[in-house]
Each structure stands twice: as structure tokens, then as C-alpha cells.
Chain A
Amino acid sequence: MIADLILNFFNPEIIGRVWPFLLQGFYMTLGLSALVIPMGIAGGLVIAILHSLGLRWLNALLIAYVDLFRALPPLVLLIFIYFGAPFLEIDLPKLLAVAIGFLLNTSSYYGEVFRAGIESVAAGQAAAARSTGLTRWQTMWSVILPQATRNVLPDLVSNTLEVIKLTSLASVVALPELLNNARQAQALTYNATPIVLAALFYLVLLWPIVRLLSRMEHRSLGQRH
């Protein structure tokens, strides 16, 4: 029984065979994360900074954008883009489809986080910075944003964790990241070992972030009373 389980779920011979292929997928997952996280953060910053201008019509648009892409499951967005594009005779490369889908989704979430951060900085900070002769942009970039970022750091880390987990969706359009390669290896070997191995890769990568997050969240709650 136990031997059967090991054979099916943690087969050393299969681990040896699929290891290089899964490692390739793991690197792709890292690369994909390194692409989509900065894109999402940049997009979110643009949204939050535009929102801070306080223009009513612009804010209505931004909130509509943010709510729209928070309401659509990211997988729906990805499938819509990837399988919809050919109907317009656009040949969209997988990576580009994934990047566009993730940008729309993650920039909305990062936008909400940064907006809350900017709103948490006391109004006197901006007034004081402007009175020292800083321009609006300098005030935002050097005075408001550093404090805003610090105030919402747990949410930023939490969101980034979600984005890394999100990269597993790229397997649905056969982008050769970790989960995709694990599923291919599983189909070839008729064995669950590659999927278990992929899960372990994800754990090794993400567990430290989860731990960090738990510590940050408990600390920030502790400060509030």
C-alpha cells in the first residue's frame, strides 16, 4: 500500500527522468513572475497616482477599470484574449496574451493597494512638501509614495504572492511554465509524481513569502490598539 503510494506519487526513478524538464518550467515561472510583477506594479502606480489627482471624471473611469478587471476571473480574461484574438486574424504569441491578461488583472489589484496607501498618508505631508518648494511630482514621488508604500507593505507582499501563484494559469494556454511541464510529464509517465514535484517547487518558492506575510500581518494588527 505505502509502496504503491510512493510508486505513484513520489517515484524516484520518475523524479530523475522529469527533473530537468520541471526545472526548465520552474525557470520559466520565475521569468514570467519577473516580467508580470513589475508590469503590474507599474500599472498599479499609474492608476493610483492618476486617482490622486482628484479629477472626478477620471476617477470614475479608473474605478470602472479596476472593478471590471477585479470582477473578471483572470483565467476568463486570459482565455478571452488568447482564443479571441485569432477571430480578428491576430496571431497573438502566448507570452504576449499572458502578459496582457495579467497586466489588466494585476494592475487593478496593485492600483487598489497603492490608492489605499496614498490615502493613508496624512494630508499635511503633501502640504508641507509643496510649501518647501517641491513640485507636485517631486512631492508624490519622494514624499507621499515612500510613506504610502510602507503603510501598505503587507498588502503589496500579499498581492505579489497572488501574482506568482497566478502564473500557473499560463499552463492553460500551454506556456511552458512549471505546471504546464508537470502536466505534460504526468501525461507521458501516467504517474502523479511530476505534479507532486511541481507542488514542492511552488512550496519552496512561496513558503518563505507566506511566512513573511504572517509575521507582517500579525505585527501590523498589533500596532493598532
Chain B
Amino acid sequence: MTTWERFLFSFFNPAVAWEYLPAILNGMVVTIGLALVTVAAGVVLGLLLAVARTGGLRLLNAFIIAFADVMRALPPLVLIILLFFALPLAGVSLGAFASTWLALTLVLAAFAEEIFWAGILAVPPGQWEAARSTGLSRAQAIREVVLPQAVRMTVPPLTNRIIATTKGTALGSVVALSEILNQASSSASLAGNATPLTLGAAAYLAIFLPVVIFGRWIETRFAWKR
């Protein structure tokens, strides 16, 4: 075999691809499901924390800042391994899916909180004062006046962070979560052929390339007015 033939045989082998396609497709279902529940929980938690921070309670704010700092400083893989391998020693056993989901959710929530908070700060204080002076309650002022303006500004950075976090679902493979990467690498060792890895990479591109291009569009659409 020439090098080129060996390359095709090892990485683009139709027979191997056909045999392991179902495994990769199953992995895609897990990856997409995990990404969706992570984004939903992470963004909601981040928004709640940012809104809670506007209350100005010193102790609560210190706790929120500490949470956001720790979750932004720790590599997500460290967090997943802590939750999956270490928590059982304290009598709490989360499965691979729950560990990965919780870790990624906490990380996304921390970044989302910082992004929403920065957005809230960027709304001129006059907006807040004007809203309150018309008789709106605090909750109404936040919900109807401050957040709509703040959230618009947060769309581009939040989109980027969501993309980064959902790509982190691949880290689940380290705790044997049967998502795309795990399916691909176990299939590759089973087949003695790298084609499943190629399929896995293609599966990620199929999911994330549209998302990245969408993010690029969002960035121009919601660009800061300078």
C-alpha cells in the first residue's frame, strides 16, 4: 500500500464507516441532548444570579462573586472529574451524564452571570431612576426596563460562551459518557481503524459549524454601537 492508500484505508474506510455509523449517531443524540439541557439550565441560573446581584445584599453578592470566580478559574474537566470521581466518596453518586451536565451548567452559569451583570451595569443609571420614578416596582423596573436593554448587549458574548460550553460536552468522554467522542474512540479501537474518529469529527462539524457561523452572524447583527 502506498501512503495515500494507507491514509484512505485508515481514515476514510467506507465499510468501517457504515458499520459504526449507528454508534456515532447515538452519540450525536446524547451530545445534542446534553448541550440543550446545559444551555437551558446555565443561562437561567446565570440570569437569576445577575438579577439577585442587583439587590445589593453584601453577603449574597460576595457569595455570587466567589461562585463566579471559582467556576471561571477551574478547568471544566477538573470539575467533571471532581463531581464524577470524588463526590461518591461523600456518598453522592452522580452518573456520567449528570456529572458532566452539572459541571458544564455551573461553568456556563458563572460566565453568563458575569455577562448579564456587565450588561446590567452598562444600562445608564438614568434608565433605572426614570423607571422607578414612574411608579414601577423594583421587579418591574428590572424586568421591563433594565433587562431588555441589558440582554440585547449580552447576546454576542453570551452566544460565544454558549458555543464554548456546549463544545465542552466532549469532555464527558473522560467519564465514559457515551457521547460522540466516546463512541468514536471506542469504535476506533474496536475496529482497529481511525475512520470512526473521522466520523466523530464530521459529526461535531455537522453540529457546531452551523452554530459557529450563526455566532458570527449574531456578532455583526448585535454589534456594539460605538
**In the complex, are the beta carbons of A195 and B78 less than 8 A apart?**
yes
B200 interface residue, CB < 8 Å from A?
Answer: yes
Q: Fill in one digit per residue for A199-225: 1 if any B CB lies within 8 Å of its CB, else 0.
A: 100110011011101100110011011
The residues of A that contact B198 with a CB separation of less than 8 Å are 80
Complex CA–CA separation, A202 to B73 (angstroms) = 7
**In the complex, are the beta carbons of A75 and B114 less than 8 A apart?**
no
Residue of A nearest to B111 (CB): A158
Residue of A nearest to B224 (CB): A224
**In the complex, are the beta carbons of A183 and B81 less than 8 A apart?**
yes
Tell me the smallest distance from the CB of A201 to a CB of chain B, in Å. Answer: 10
A171 interface residue, CB < 8 Å from B?
Answer: yes
Tell me the smallest distance from the CB of B178 to a CB of chain A, in Å. Answer: 15
- Interface residue tally on A, bucketed by range: 35 or more
**In the complex, are the beta carbons of B86 and A192 less than 8 A apart?**
yes
A60 interface residue, CB < 8 Å from B?
Answer: no
Residue of A nearest to B167 (CB): A73
A165 interface residue, CB < 8 Å from B?
Answer: yes
The answer to whether A195 and B77 touch (CB under 8 A), given A73-B170, A80-B197, A83-B197, is no
B173 interface residue, CB < 8 Å from A?
Answer: yes
**In the complex, are the beta carbons of A217 and B90 less than 8 A apart?**
no
In A160-206, the 8 Å CB interface with B consists of 161-162, 165-169, 171-172, 179, 183, 186, 191-192, 195-196, 198-199, 202-203, 206
Residue of B nearest to A221 (CB): B122
**In the complex, are the beta carbons of A168 and B77 less than 8 A apart?**
yes
**In the complex, are the beta carbons of A73 and B86 less than 8 A apart?**
no
**In the complex, are the beta carbons of B181 and A202 less than 8 A apart?**
no
Complex CA–CA separation, A207 to B3 (angstroms) = 48
Q: Which of A5, A70, A195, A222 contacts B81 (CB 8 A)?
A: A195
**In the complex, are the beta carbons of B90 and A199 less than 8 A apart?**
no
Residue of B nearest to A201 (CB): B78
Chain-A contact segment, one of B6-14, B46-54, B93-101, B131-139: B6-14
A87 interface residue, CB < 8 Å from B?
Answer: yes
**In the complex, are the beta carbons of B73 and A207 less than 8 A apart?**
yes
The residues of A that contact B7 with a CB separation of less than 8 Å are 88
The answer to whether A179 and B78 touch (CB under 8 A), given A88-B6, A195-B86, is yes
The residues of A that contact B10 with a CB separation of less than 8 Å are 84, 87-88
Given contacts A75-B173, A77-B201, 16 further A-B contacts (CB under 8 A): A71-B211, A72-B204, A75-B181, A76-B180, A79-B181, A83-B194, A87-B10, A165-B75, A179-B77, A199-B78, A202-B73, A203-B74, A207-B69, A210-B69, A217-B114, A218-B121
Q: Please list the 6 inter-chain residue pairs (A to B) with the smallest Cβ-Cβ separation, ordered nearest first.
A: A192-B86, A73-B170, A87-B10, A168-B75, A71-B208, A165-B75
